[in-house]
Amino acid sequence: MSLGPAEVAKIAHLARLAIAESDVPAYARNLSSILELVARMDAVDTTGVEPLAHPLDMVQRLRADEVTEADRRDDFQSLAPQVEAGLYLVPRVIE
């Protein structure tokens, strides 16, 4: 499977990455070679192999349902470019 320029542009858009037009062929080539490697692995007989969801062979620890976090809004909002009335302000997302 190989990717064309249109697919590269779509992937970049979904990931919100701005890429230069001149770099598209190189991205297409490199991403395609990753997919080719994956395609080659498809040939391996995986009968009886459990799908791996995580490289660590461990189980998720759970935490008790307790409130442990205090309000630190002022600290967090000091990092934000714009706040008002306790809200984070961002460029308008609907017209």
Site residues for another protein per CB under 8 A: 10, 14, 16, 53-54, 56, 58-69, 71-73, 76-77, 82, 84-95
Using the minimum distance from each CB to another protein, give the nearer residue, 40 or 61.
61
Q: Are 1 and 39 in contact (CB under 8 A)?
A: yes
Rg (CA), the chain: 22
Minimum Å distance from CB 78 to another protein?
12
Residue 36's contacts (CB-CB under 8 Å, 6 or more residues apart) are 1, 2
Q: State how far the Cα of 5 lies from the Cα of 28, in Å rounded to an integer.
A: 6
Q: Least distance from C-beta 55 to another protein, angstroms? A: 8
Closest CB to another protein among residues 17, 43: 17
